[in-house]
Amino acid sequence: MALSSYSTINHHHLPAAAHSRLAPRATYRITATVEEPAIKSHNRSSSAINIPATLSNLLHLNTKHHTNSGTTTASVNNNPTLTLENFDRRTPTYSPKEDISSLCTEIHRSADWSHLLSPLHPWLRREILKYGEFSQSTYDAFDSNPFSQYGGSCLYGRHRLFEKIGLLRHGYDVTKYLYAMSHVDLPIWLERSLHAEAWSRDSNWMGYVAVSGDEESCRIGCRDIAVAWRGTVMPAEWLEDIQGKLETIESNNDSDIKVEHGFHSLYTSKNETTRYNKLSASEQVMNEIKRLVRFYQEKGEKVSITITGHSLGGALALLNAYEAASALPSVPVSVISFGAPRVGNEAFGDRLKELGVKVLRMVIKQDVVPKMPGILFNEGIKMVEKVTGTLEWVYTHVGVELGLNVRTSPYLKNCIDFAGFHNLEIYLHLVDGYMNSKSGFRCEAKRDVALINKASGMLREEIGIPPCWHQTANSGLMCNSYGRWVMPNRVPEDIPSPYRDGQMNYIVSAISVAVQEAAQAWLLQDLDAIHLQVVSPDDILMLERVTGNDDHEE
């Protein structure tokens, strides 16, 4: 199959009768004669919306508009009238996956993705959505409840994350969780637990490293190491405070490669006295990537690294890609980012190109975050204006941009909503519907539109999904056997490094043995006869072997 062709599209245009389930039903008055008068028209108040009719009109109009503009591709007009059925309950939310191993080189190594973008190749779309869902999972699985003992951590242990979040179908395994310091020189966007026994006062869960399983590796043609970085749901808090202060990325030289101070600080901060950030996020992720690359390369496998993130997470992805490509020149490194701000200066961008890092940036036209640094927020996010200086010229975007537009989707409200324009689920929805830079929304887009409203109110009301519906039953409280509402303990497998009294001695002595083994097998740099800091990746590896629970703690 040629790269630029679409896969076959099946249109299921249902006749009007198929809507009967949605049409008004007659109610009945109880009479002695058998009589079922239709409900009087004035009882259907004008505030009630006839979903099928309204949406049909809406979509019809929308499609007509695109037809008139003369730029729609043939695949759209086969079925000009979308109906509620097209996205309703009776279709799966994704297509069967093709074997794309033949494209591995092209997708991962070719100089430019541009020729796959207009029209967007369906195979590339599916890959973008896969990584986008990895990014989204860092929000969905984040415990943002300050009343939880584990506020700021991941809700689930790494072995259960994809099962719990519904991403098993991508065929990846999480191998490592990543943490970053919350005391860095970035504004207060990091969550902190108010609980007296909080799991950590210093760190936040920031994402994970995952690796493709055998089946998925076979399908995509290489062993893919995916890194997903958590960003921020609501940008205003931290965007207002981005200082636009550049600093050198290499600590030990006076390179002219510079990146934004706040992002760099978050990526590199660590503190010996903390529990989860004895290593910085940078060290954690690089240790794990190197371990995995070594492991699979020793088995003779082809390896790739794909780093993804939304918003701030997209900025971290770029810093991570810079470091990975520098350290592992033999491995192709890609970045799939969504609504990410600018990160560094032109020298940074040039160096990324030299390193062969491929960057695909999804950017919604109406989203202000990708314009940062370079604009200022006034009065919260009510006003946005350009900095009169040269900030936007100093900071440079890198890679290829896939430009999205909220106005192309017939499912989205025609509103001004800065948080909504930046919402990752809106990005994924628009990627799902993207055809090319000039056309409207794909008819055959299958992703569940209800997800749009997971944490926004951008979905049109006619579709009947409540805004910001993603919430826990009773905010996580449960009624215990005494009839009291309490915040239940997590199951052991979801507790970040539980304190196991009975196992403590065993673990400590096991570590002693493990460290000695490790010292022989590899060169340990911080070994001291009296006091050994566990800072090397090899120690972590050994710890994992001993305790089976390295997920949360360094």
Question: Is residue 382 a contact point for a second copy (CB under 8 A)?
Answer: no
Among 329, 380, 389, 464, binds a second copy (CB under 8 A): 464
CA distance 29 to 35: 8
Nearer to a second copy, 144 or 378 (CB): 144
Paired tokens of 29: 């008055």
Among 471, 503, 517, 545, binds a second copy (CB under 8 A): 471
313: burial class by Cβ within 10 Å (0-12, 13-18, 19+)? buried
Q: Please give the distance of CA 128 from its chain centroid, rounded to a whole number.
A: 10
The 10 Å Cβ neighbour count of residue 1 is 11
Nearer to a second copy, 51 or 355 (CB): 51
Omega before residue 329 within 30° of 0, cis: no
Residue 212 bears catalytic tag: no
Question: Is residue 274 a contact point for a second copy (CB under 8 A)?
Answer: yes
Residues 6+ apart with CB under 8 A from 285: 176, 178, 209, 227, 320
CA distance 217 to 221: 6
Nearer to a second copy, 7 or 489 (CB): 489
Among 227, 336, 534, 541, binds a second copy (CB under 8 A): 534
Secondary structure of residue 310 in the 3-state scheme: strand
Q: Which stretch binds a second copy (CB under 8 A): 34-42, 97-105, 223-231, 333-341?
A: 34-42
CB of 477 to a second copy, least distance (A): 5
Angle, helices 281-298/312-327, rounded to nearest 10 degrees: 50
Nearer to a second copy, 375 or 527 (CB): 527
CA distance 276 to 137: 21
Task: Name 154's bridge partners.
Answer: 142
CB of 427 to a second copy, least distance (A): 18
- Tell me, letter by letter, the H, E, C secondary structure of 101-116: HHHHHHHHHCCCCHHH
| Residue list 479-498, contact with a second copy (CB under 8 A) | 479-480, 482-487
468: burial class by Cβ within 10 Å (0-12, 13-18, 19+)? exposed
Question: Is residue 530 a contact point for a second copy (CB under 8 A)?
Answer: yes
Among 40, 354, 379, 520, binds a second copy (CB under 8 A): 40
Residue 422 bears catalytic tag: yes
| Residue list 180-239, contact with a second copy (CB under 8 A) | 192, 194-198, 201-202
Nearer to a second copy, 31 or 252 (CB): 31
Query: What's the angle, vertex CA 27, arms to CA 23 and CA 32, rounded to 5?
Result: 150
Residue 110 bears catalytic tag: no
Residue 263 is which amino acid?
Answer: F
Q: Which stretch binds a second copy (CB under 8 A): 7-15, 98-106, 387-395, 448-456?
A: 448-456
| Residue list 107-166, contact with a second copy (CB under 8 A) | 145-147, 166
Among 88, 98, 256, 346, binds a second copy (CB under 8 A): 88
Residues 6+ apart with CB under 8 A from 242: 260, 262, 341, 372, 373
Query: Which residue has tokens 């004895």?
Result: 278
Nearer to a second copy, 416 or 473 (CB): 473
Question: Is residue 74 a contact point for a second copy (CB under 8 A)?
Answer: no
Which one of 66, 108, 397, 422 is the catalytic residue? 422
Question: Is residue 254 a contact point for a second copy (CB under 8 A)?
Answer: no
Binding residues for a second copy, rule CB under 8 A, total 85
Query: Which active-site residues does the annotation give?
Result: 311, 367, 422
